[in-house]
Amino acid sequence: MKGGNNTKVLKLDRLDGSAKRWRGADILVFNTGHWWTHRGKMKVWDYFEKRGKLVEEMEGDMAFRTAIQAWARWVDQAVDPTKTIVFFRSISPEHKRYHDFQFT
């Protein structure tokens, strides 16, 4: 059922209204984690929302790109770079492939 009370929607192209509380912060750290790689049982939402339309599936790179563009627009519009330091943190989509890394 689309839009029901228990429906979980990941809104990709806009930040939540609570973002207004971040204005004026000294430091902002945005961490994307790896939500865009979640599929099947790992997916914790029912739909993606983009431009007001709900879709059940979307390629991870498209979802990530849409979300990052929304984040960047918000930072450009809402953050005063003379007062706030902004950090962006993410992970490599390949972070689970530990055998590619050399440990000393």
Give per-residue pLDDT as tens, 36-91.
Answer: 777 777 777 889 999 999 998 888 888 889 999 999 999 999 999 999 999 988 77
85, 27 Cβ separation under 8 angstroms: yes
pLDDT of residue 1: 46
Between these two residues, 103 and 12, which has the higher pLDDT value?
A: 12
Over 60: is that where the pLDDT of 7 sits?
yes
List the domain boundaries for the chain. Answer: 9-100
| Contacts with 85 (C-beta within 8 Å, 6 or more apart), sequence order | 26, 27, 28
> What's the CA angle centered on 12, arms 41 and 17, to 5 degrees?
115
Give the Å distances, CA to CA, from 38 to 33, 35, 95: 11, 6, 14
* pTM (predicted TM-score): 0.72
Helix (H, G, I), strand (E, B) or coil at 29: strand
